[in-house]
Amino acid sequence: MNKAVLRRLYKQKRKNLSTIEVENLQGNIYQQVFEFNFSTTNTIHIFLSIERLLEINTNPIIDFLLLKNKRIVVSVSDFSTNTLKHFLFDRKTKLKVSSFGIPEPVNGIKIDPKEIDLVFVPLLISDEKKFRVGYGKGFYDRFLAECRTDVKTIGLNFFKPIKEITDLNIYDVALSDIMYAH
């Protein structure tokens, strides 16, 4: 299937999940994250969840990583250029929900994407080759192109990968791994 069809389909599938289903799926993904070996990673980028889109709640992951003394990085979206600016995040960071429903830091130290060791990537669905379908604006494609070539990338998703995304392009980059509910 192509990205446009998959985007519509998986937005709807996510919307159809009950609260209990979301909690169970998240619990399964949290367990995978908590068991992951973070010993070689220090600086970790993670997305802040958009509640109205029923994205995986990343707050428990952030709390876990902060307890592991990892440097957490979150982003501010620039919709005029479809790019992200990145900032260190800790318990003192103040957040404000943007007009697009995205929690974003209002204070924090700006950080270069080259300093990031691992990126947790939001997605709607992925395929067996670890390519992803996001919301279609290219924010993460641009961001990941700015990172080091050895950056680890992990997609977080409720749904099992599909066989194939049929309309990949030169900007699509396979992720290192996908964590989804089993």
On whether the pTM is more than 0.75, the answer is yes
How is 21-52 classified by DSSP, letter by letter?
A: HHHHHHHHHHHHHHHS--TT--EEE-PPP-GG
Give the pLDDT band of residue 2 (cuts 50, 70, 90).
very high
- Residue of 105, 116, 125, 111 lying closest to 145 (CA atoms): 116
- pLDDT for the residue 162: 98
- pLDDT for the residue 108: 85
- pLDDT for the residue 104: 95
- pLDDT for the residue 50: 92
Number of structural domains in the chain: 1
- pLDDT for the residue 107: 87
Give SS3 for 81. Answer: coil
Q: What is the CATH number of the domain that holds 94?
A: 3.40.50.10420
- pLDDT for the residue 39: 95
pLDDT digits (tens, 9 = 90+) for 39-51: 999 999 999 999 8
Judged against a pLDDT cut of 90, whether residue 78 lies above it is answered with yes
- Residue of 73, 69, 58 lying closest to 147 (CA atoms): 73
Percent of the residues in the chain that have a pLDDT greater than 90, as a whole number? 91
Judged against a pLDDT cut of 90, whether residue 34 lies above it is answered with yes
Give SS3 for 171. Answer: coil
Give the pLDDT band of residue 171 (cuts 50, 70, 90).
confident
Q: Which domain holds residue 69?
A: 3-180
